[in-house]
């Protein structure tokens, strides 16, 4: 099955085909008043809504399509700690800011696990994760070693260890890699089931959730009004969480990020024996290069293989044709395996790869630009947005202080310009 942006229903992904909860929220029809209106039903918006509902706020969540329709319901399902590059904050804002960002990186992973446990969300959570270093790229191995040294120095709370080439075959059966860095605190899960489960938890706490409700405009002021095609929502505060799919609803933050395509294919079920032969440890894997691959087994033992971040703004005609050679380069033994699902979508990239947080006219807040690493960070973003709504801006303001440049050329030339820049980094990587 193929899927990129198939209207307002879920794309033809493995996740959509195997989801546990069917979205059944109504379309907004009429005018409402509330404390906070949240725009966007992905992880950032749903996390914000759930945090606010837990604190007793009257929250309205507006989603243009279905809960988890965008990247939140289509991603690789890799639960990875880390919020952003702490060195950037150390250089710009000092050691105390860098330490806060480091702690946030641990916290974002913990929030997801706590949510799953608290609300008994059935999303196939399994712990275990391995960053891998490719053969012929010694810089990647050095990077893993440096990463482990930093984590050890900071007393990272979860077990980590360097996996040498001899031991690597206990984790993965391929000749593509020479080493790995294990992290017992990270793992993988079914992202669409997670997002839908969190939305259901928020609704059970009293949040009003609306699907098929596209926001056309935000009228700012002392009492902002969010306008849709079938009604308006008046609120004391607004949270914008549309990320790559917010589009023109708020032009002032549109050009500070650009959408980049990312794609995944899913094989037919491999069966227990073949799946174990391929990935004995059954953990999530991620490469270290710019044009990286990431992969893992699903609960029903399919290989989910993703990557090929596309900065040009054009989706491939065939995701299967684009991704299969990458898969077979890592796992040539799977040449006889059928591909049952192929899908993709947009992620929001910021130029400096740092998540963007900010205010608009004092009572509208936004978070965006997680640059392909948003599953755990977007949950922390939800907490930060809920905190600032409640008057606690400590974490939020660490990021709101960062100035983000607009993409040169706006939406028409952003893709080609960034694609050219990424080509430079890929060439530098290959030559280095």
Q: What is the mean pLDDT of residues 95-121?
A: 94
Of residues 193, 203, 194, the one with CA closest to residue 53: 203
Q: Is residue 352 pLDDT above 90, yes or no?
A: no
Q: Has this prediction a pTM greater than 0.85?
A: yes
Q: Give the residue-averaged pLDDT of 328-339.
A: 98
pLDDT of residue 428: 44
CB atoms < 10 A from the CB of 415, how many?
A: 20
pLDDT digits (tens, 9 = 90+) for 6-52: 567 899 999 999 999 988 899 999 999 999 999 999 999 999 999 99
Please determine, for residue 5, whether its predicted confidence score (pLDDT) is greater than 80: no
Calculate the average pLDDT of the chain: 90
Domains and CATH numbers, the chain: 2-75+192-252+352-406 (3.50.50.60), 129-184 (no CATH)
State residue 409's pLDDT score.
54
| Contacts by 288-294, CB closer than 8 A, 24 or more apart | 288/131, 288/132, 288/133, 288/134, 288/137, 288/140, 288/143, 288/144, 289/134, 289/137, 289/140, 289/426, 289/429, 290/422, 290/425, 290/426, 290/429, 291/426, 293/326, 293/327, 293/330, 294/76, 294/78
pLDDT 10s digits, 250-307:
988 888 887 888 999 999 999 999 999 999 999 999 999 877 899 999 999 999 999 9
The pLDDT assigned to 372 comes to: 73
User: How confident is the model over 54-87, as pLDDT tens digits?
Assistant: 999 999 999 999 999 999 999 999 999 998 878 8
């Amino acid at each position: 099955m193929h899927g990129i942006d198939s209207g307002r229903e879920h794309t033809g992904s493995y996740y959509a085909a195997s989801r546990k909860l069917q979205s059944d929220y109504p379309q907004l029809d009429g005018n409402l008043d509330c404390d906070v209106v949240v725009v966007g039903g992905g992880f950032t918006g749903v996390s914000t809504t759930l945090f606010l509902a837990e604190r007793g706020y009257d929250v309205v969540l507006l989603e243009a399509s279905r809960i988890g329709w965008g990247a939140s319901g289509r991603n690789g399902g890799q639960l990875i700690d880390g919020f952003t590059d702490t060195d950037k904050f150390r250089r710009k804002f000092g050691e105390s800011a860098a330490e806060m960002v480091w702690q946030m990186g641990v916290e974002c992973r913990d929030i997801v696990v706590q949510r799953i446990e608290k609300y008994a969300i059935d999303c196939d959570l399994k712990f275990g994760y391995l960053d891998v270093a490719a053969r012929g790229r010694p810089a990647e191995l050095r990077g893993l070693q440096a990463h482990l040294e930093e984590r050890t120095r900071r007393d990272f709370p979860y077990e980590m260890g360097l996996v040498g080439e001899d031991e690597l075959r206990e984790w993965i059966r391929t000749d593509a890699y020479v080493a790995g860095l294990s992290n017992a605190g990270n793992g993988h899960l079914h992202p669409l089931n997670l997002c839908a489960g969190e939305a259901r938890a928020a609704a059970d706490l009293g949040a009003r959730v609306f699907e098929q409700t596209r926001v056309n405009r935000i009228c700012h002021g002392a009492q902002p009004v969010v306008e849709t095609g079938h009604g308006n929502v008046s609120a004391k505060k607004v949270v914008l969480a549309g990320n790559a799919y917010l589009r023109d609803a708020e032009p002032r933050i549109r050009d500070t990020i650009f959408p980049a395509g990312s794609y995944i294919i899913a094989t037919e079920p491999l069966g227990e024996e073949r799946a174990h032969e391929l990935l004995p440890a059954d953990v999530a894997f991620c490469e270290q290069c710019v044009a990286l691959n990431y992969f893992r087994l699903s609960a029903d033992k399919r290989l989910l293989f993703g990557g090929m971040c596309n900065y040009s703004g054009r989706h491939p005609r065939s995701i299967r044709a684009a991704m299969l050679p990458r898969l077979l380069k890592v796992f040539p033994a799977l040449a006889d395996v059928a591909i049952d699902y192929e899908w993709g979508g947009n992620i929001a990239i910021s130029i400096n790869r740092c998540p963007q947080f900010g205010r608009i006219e004092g009572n509208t807040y936004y978070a965006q630009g997680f640059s392909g690493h948003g599953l755990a960070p977007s949950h922390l973003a939800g907490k930060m947005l809920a905190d600032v709504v409640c008057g606690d801006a400590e974490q939020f303001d660490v990021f709101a202080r960062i100035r983000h440049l607009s993409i040169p050329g706006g939406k028409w030339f952003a893709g080609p310009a960034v694609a050219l820049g990424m080509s430079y980094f890929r060439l530098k990587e290959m030559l280095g």
